[in-house]
Amino acid sequence: MKANSFGRRLTMTCAGESHGHSYTVIIDGVPAKIPLKTADFTDSMQRRAPGQSDFTTSRKETDEVQITSGVFEGLTTGAPVCLVIANKDQRSQDYKNLKEIYRPGHGDYVYQQKYQHRDYRGGGRSSARETVCRVAAAVIAQKILQKTKIEVIAFTQQIGPYQSQLSYQEKLCLKTKQIDQSAIRCPDNQVEKLMQDYIKELKAQGDSCGGICQIIAKNVPLGLGEPIFAKLKSDLSAALMSLPAVMGISFGKGFDCVTMKGSEFNDQQVIIDDQVSFLTNHHGGLMAGISSGQPLLINLAVKPPSSIALEQKAINLSGKTEIIKIEGRHDPCLLPRIAPVAQSMVEFVLADHYLLRSPGFN
C-alpha cells in the first residue's frame, strides 16, 4: 500500500486508521519562514469535524493538531512539517459485529481480499477520518496562497432532487462564513429547508442520500497547470477523486457539453477596456489543462453514505449471505461534511502549482 503521498513541489504523506492511536501527516516542500502555530489549525479542523448538527454523525473529536517538526520559533524552517491528530472518541465495540461481515458499499470486502488482513474498526484505513490529514495539510497550503489573491469556496449545490437556484454571479460573491451559516452548507435559503427535510426523512427511514458539492476558486492567475501529465484538471481530479464517496467530477458545464453545439459551448473572447474578457465560463476556468484566469468551477457527485440502518444482504467471512443492519454513528448525507474537505484538496493543488510556477522559494 505505497500510495499515501500526494503533490509535486508541495507534498503530503498521510498515515493513520479510524480507531488507531492517531493520524499523522508530513508536509514536505513548505517554504521557510511561514508563521505556523497549533491555533492556526483550529477553524479548519472544526469545520471538518463531525457532530456539528443533526445532519452529521455524532462522533465527537477535538481534532487538535500537534506540530512535531519543521517549525522553530513559530516559523517554518523549510524542513518537513509533521502534524499529529489523536483519535479520542472511538467506540470500537460498535464495530465488533462487523468483523465477520463485509458492509455493502464500504471497503471491507476489497481490503480483505487484497490484503488478507484488515483493521475492521470503523473501516480502518478506508475510513473517511483520514481526511483530517488533508484538511490539516491544507492549512499550510492556505498560508502559501496568502501570497496570491486565490480564494476557494465549496458548498452544497444539490441534495437528492433539490438543487440550489443561485446564479453563477451570486455564487461568485459567496464567502465561507456565509456558507457555514447553513447546517448543510447550502447558501440558498430557498431550497435549504427542502434539503434538510429530505435528509431528516431518509434518516428517519434508516436510509441516506447523496448530492453535488460545488467548488469555486476565485482569482486563480492564468498559467497554472503543467502540460501534459500535470494539467491542472488532471491534478485536481486526482485530488478530488481520491476523496471517499466521490463518484464523479466535472468542470464548468461538465457532462452538459455532450448535447451542446460548438457554437454554444465555446467561451468566446472579446476586448473590453483593453482587457481580455470571456463571454462565458463553460470550460470552468481551464483551457488545455491550464488556468485561463477565469474562476475554476468544479462539481463533485457524492454518493449516499453506505452505512444505513435498513436491512441489506451482505456476505460474511465464511462466504455465506447474511442480513445486515448497520449500527453506530454515521452521516445520513455527506454533503454538509465534504465541502471543507474538497475545498482543502483544491487549496493544496493550487498551492502546489503556484510553487511550481514560482521559483525562488526555499
Ligand X SMILES: Cc1cc2nc3c(=O)[nH]c(=O)nc-3n(C[C@H](O)[C@H](O)[C@H](O)COP(=O)(O)O)c2cc1C
**Chain residues that interact with ligand X, rule: CB under 6 A:** 57, 106-107, 123, 126, 128, 131, 243-245, 303, 305-307, 330-331, 334, 337-338, 341
Cα distance between residue 173 and residue 10, in whole Å: 29
Q: Which of helix, strand or coil describes residue 341?
A: helix
If the CB atoms of residues 6 and 354 are measured against ligand X, the closer one turns out to be: 6
Which candidate, 237, 222, 353, 238, places its Cα nearest to that of 290? 222
- The residue (of 14 and 166) whose beta carbon lies closer to ligand X is 14
d(CA 112, CA 125): 12
Q: Could you tell me the smallest distance in angstroms from the CB atom of residue 304 to ligand X?
A: 9
Taking the complex as a whole, the smallest distance from the CB of residue 69 to ligand X amounts, in Å, to 27
> Under a CB-based contact definition with an 8 Å cutoff, are residues 185 and 335 in contact?
yes
If the CB atoms of residues 300 and 355 are measured against ligand X, the closer one turns out to be 300
Cα–Cα distances (Å) from 257 to 18, 170, 227, 321, in that order, read 40, 23, 23, 43
Nearer to ligand X, 331 or 352 (CB): 331
3-state secondary structure 207-253: CCECEEEEEEEECCCCCCCECCCECHHHHHHHHHHCCCCEEEEEECC
Alpha carbons 154 and 175: distance in angstroms, whole number: 9
Q: Which one-letter amino acid corresponds to residue 349? A: V
Backbone φ/ψ region at 112: left (φ over 0), alpha (ψ -120 to 50), beta: alpha
Q: How far is the CB of 21 from ligand X (least distance, A)?
A: 20
Q: Which is nearer to ligand X, 218 or 303 (CB)?
A: 303
Distance CA 121, CA 140 (A): 30
CB of 131 or CB of 294, closer to ligand X = 131
326: helix, strand or coil = coil
- To ligand X, the closest distance from the beta carbon of 162 in angstroms equals 20
Which one, 108 or 188, has the nearer CB to ligand X? 108
Minimum Å distance from CB 303 to ligand X?
6
Scored b (16 or more CB within 10 A) or e, 23-44 reads bbbbbbbbbeebebeeebbeeb
In this complex, which beta carbon is closest to ligand X, that of residue 36 or of residue 128?
A: 128
* Contact (CB, 8 A) for 63 and 45: yes
Least separation in angstroms between CB 287 and ligand X? 29
- In the complex, what is the shortest distance from the CB of residue 208 to ligand X, in angstroms, rounded to a whole number? 7
